[in-house]
Each structure stands twice: as C-alpha cells, then as structure tokens.
Structure 1
Amino acid sequence: MKHEILSVIVPVLNEEESIPLFLEKMRQVSRELPVEVEYWFVNDGSNDNTQAVLNALNNSDSNIHFIDFSRNFGKEAALYAGLEYAKGDYVGVMDVDLQDPPELLPEMLRGVMSGEWDAVGSRRINRIGESRIRSFFSDLFYKLVNKISSTQLVNGARDYRVMTRQMVDAILSMPEYNRFSKGIFSWIGFRTKYLEFENVDRAAGKTSWSFFSLFKYSIDGIVNFSTAPLDIVTGLGFITFISAIIGAIAIIIRAIAFPSTAVFGWPSMVVIMLLLSGIQLLSLGVIGRYISGTYTEVKRRPIFIAKKVK
C-alpha cells in the first residue's frame, strides 16, 4: 500500500477541454509511481465550464481537489494557493495543457525521493512551434536577468518540478505579493536538478499568455530580483550631468572666441532637450516601477481569495 503522497498542483484558466486529457495521461503515469497522487486544481477565474468539470471530478474521485478563486488573480497567485493547500510529502507543479510531459514525473520523483536532490525540475531545450520573435525575447530575458541579478535563472526552465516538503515550506515563508516563482525557486537555494525535453504543443485549448503579458511578466522578474535598472538610470543621470557641464563650458568658450556663431545651433538644442527629456521620463518610469511594487506590498492585500475549496 502506498503511504506517501505526491500533491500535484495544476493552475487552470479556461481549460475545460484540457483537464480530462491531462487526467487520463496522469493516471497512466501514476501507476508507475511508488506514492499516492492527489491533485489540487486551482481555478484562476475561468469564464468557461472549467469549474463545472472540476466539480464533477471532485464528486467522482476523492483524490481530486480544487480551489476556486473569486476572480482572476494570475498564475503566480494560483501556484502559491496550491502550495499553501497541498499537504503531500512531495509537491509537484504542472501545467494542464500537457506541455509539461507527464512521462518525466517518475524520474523527477525518484530524484527527490533518493535524497540526492531537493527538487527536480524541467527545462525546454528548444522552442519549436513558437514564433521566432517570442523565442528571441525569451532568450534575451534570460541573458539580461542573469547578467544584472545575483539570482541565476536556467534558460528554458519551466515551473514543472517536484519538490520536497522542506523546499515547499521555504517558498511559503516568502508571502510577497509581487511574485516571480522562477526567481523564488532559484533564490531559496536547495539542490535542484533539471531534466531536458523538447518543446511540446498544447493538447487542447489556447494559451492565455499573450506577448504583452509575457513582457510584463519578464519586467516583474527583473524588478523583483535586481536593482540594476536603478543603477543604470543613476549612471545615465551622472553622464548627462557631466555632459551638460562640458557642453556649457564649450558654449561659453565659443561665444567668447567666435561671437558671431552664438545664435546658431537651435536645431541641435532641440534634439538635446528631447534627449534629456526622454532620459528623465525613462528614469521616472524605472523608479516608478519599483515604487509601485512597494506600494502593492505595503497594502498587505491577500495574494488570492478563494471562493470555494473542496
């Protein structure tokens, strides 16, 4: 009889088509696991029949649980909610669209149960099927954040992983509102191994991640784990200040040495004014992004609100 439990956290948003396919595949894989598997589906404000599907599954299977949010709080909040409610000896995080291959789960679990690793995660080695622009910006994000942050992220790493209870408790000890799980997984440390796999297309439905939402998510990651943007705008301010002093000295010298040329140069002045204004606005935007993060944190609002847990 299986005594230990693996809690699998599955955030869902408008995934009524994917959930049955996911469970069918997982039930095949779970037969190979030396533990009992329970599922925690987190309904992140779906507006289709996702919750009705979860209600029916919960009524027919005692190992299927759900958390129904009062509205859409985002995937990060869904992950945190799942971690908070899951009580298994081991905890896994997966996407429901089968882009996280369930076939990797037995090897992940073996790695964690061996005691050699605190977590076994996964990373995509390619992005076949995605647009080149999306792939380019994704690679650029990882290169940038790893250069400016002390918290190193693995390129292509997914949220898909299996963790020990100790690691999960460490994540829950960080109840920050502005969350970036990839960074948190890395920041807390613990011995982590990554299994590689090729990109897999969605089994059904459409992704809720648009290019803009991914861009915003990447900005959150940079702001949450690096203050380098503030150092950059400080450097820009210093360079601009020194350039202004040098320019002022040059203008004074030219006006004294060549009085007839003092009235010329208004186009260049306009360009310089626009440049300086642009630098100022950029700097204010960067500083404002950090201030907005502080603002949302100090309000101490809950990360999520569960309408129903069963």
Structure 2
Amino acid sequence: MKLWIYPLMVVFAASCYGTLSTMVKLAIGEGYSASEAISSQYIIGFLLATVLYMATQRKLPRFHGGFKVILLAGIFTAATGIVYGQALIYLPASLAVVMLFQFTWIGTLIDCIVRRRLPTRPEFISLLVLFVGTILAAGVLDVDLSGIDWRGWVYGFAAAVTFALNMNINAKQVDGMNTTTRLFLVSFIAMIMIALFQTPEIVWNGKLFTESLFIYGLALGLLGIIIPIYFFVIAVPKVGGAMSSILSAMELPVAVMVSVIVLSETLSWLQVVGILVILTGMTIPTYADIRKKKKLKVV
C-alpha cells in the first residue's frame, strides 16, 4: 500500500492546480484583472508559508548546499503563473489548457535527457493515451483555431516548458533542508518574481486586504502554492520527474469538472470520454512501476 502514497500525493497536488483557472475566472468576473488575481496568489501564498515556517521552525533558514535548486524552483513556479496568465489573454481557455498540458511529454523528454535514457514502453504508451485524452477532455474539437494570435501559442508553450522544468527541479532533493523550509524559500523567490512582473501595488494601495480579492488570494495561495509545492517536494523525488509529469495530467480533468460545477459550463460526452482516457493513461506507468518494484522485492 505504501507504494501508492507518493503517486497519490502528486495526483492530489496536481488536482489542486486544476482548481486555479476557475478561481481566476471568478476573480475576473468580479472586476479584477488576471494579473491582480495571480499576484494575490503568490503574495498571500508567501505569507501563509511564512506563518507555517515561523510556527514550526525555531531558527533562520540556512543553505547547506542546493541554492541553485531552490532558486530555479522559485523562478519556474512564478514563471508558469506569469506566462499561463498571458496565454489566457490570447487563447480560448480550452486551448490554453491543451497547450499547458504539453508539459507531460516535455517533462518526460527533459527527464530522459538528464538521465541519458530512452522513454520506457509504459511511459511512451501513457503519453500517447494522455494526448488523445487531453484533446477530447478540453473540447478542442469544437474550437475555431483560425485567427488566433501567435502570442497565445508562444505563451502557452512557454507555460508547458516552465511547468515541466519545475517538475524536474522538484525531483532534486536538497540535503539538510526540510520541506517547510524549502516551501518558505521557494515561495519567497516566486513572490519576488511576481513583484517584478505582475501587480505588486495591490499590497500598498490596500486592494489586496480590503476587498474580496483577499478571499481569492487566500484560496489561490493555499491551492496554488502551499499544498502543491509541499506535496511535490515530498513526493516527486520518490516518484521521479517523468512519472510525476504524467501523473500531473490529473490537473485537466479536475479543471474541467470544477468549471462545470462552479461556472456551470457545459460538459459534452466527448469530454467525459477524454477524462476517462486521461485517468487510464495516468495509471499505466504507475502500475508498471509498482509491479516492477514488487517483482524486485520477491527476487
């Protein structure tokens, strides 16, 4: 049973990410910009990480090596939010999700390059299944692709690359640093990035703490910073960057289902089939890996 814990943690963390697009849409519906919603996510996420760190640690954070890993994790975490937010400006939401989900094969490719290996058969089959499922679940077959601004494609692909890089960076452990400290430092670096490229003025103009934007920021901070980073830091090193990228495909079914429940968006039978296909594709490499580990234990 323990063999399933870490893959499930990755799936749960990715599921949290799947709720973010709906919350950003709700914030936009109340008159806030996407930039303000994203800024509130990272600012409040850092504040929550600070409270958690102060409540559990009794000393200042120290590096015992691994500064590059922490720095890159913070940069890629923030970069994904920034470029994906830009992609949503130029692309339909369904197509933006499809572009983001290119991280599944990009993450596997990066892992193969880093480890100097070829994709395993279960990984290759899983990626093919996930690609088909993603197209169906996102409803792209009903989207008119003519006249879409080229910047949308660029930002969407950039979001996929930064998310894949972030997943592979999380696969690297930092000796002598616990999860809470790593969360604190990564969220701090991510907040600095957001302050440079988004709308940090929501802090000093009072908008963040006096309006409903704080509620959205709190939800986005919990589900977009605290929970996923904490779980990824623990689970990804155990699961591996390639498999984590595949398991994170759970984000799409959750994004579709939340939008249907909260935003009352329609769900076609093709999308239902796509969700089932994605769930099937996710289980292929995990099941193969667990069977392999069990066989090794028997031997």
TM range (shorter): under 0.3
Normalized per residue, the structure richer in helix is 2
TM-score normalised per structure 2: 0.27
TM-score normalised per structure 1: 0.26
Higher relative contact order structure (alpha carbons within 8 Å, sequence separation ≥ 6): 2
Larger radius of gyration: 1
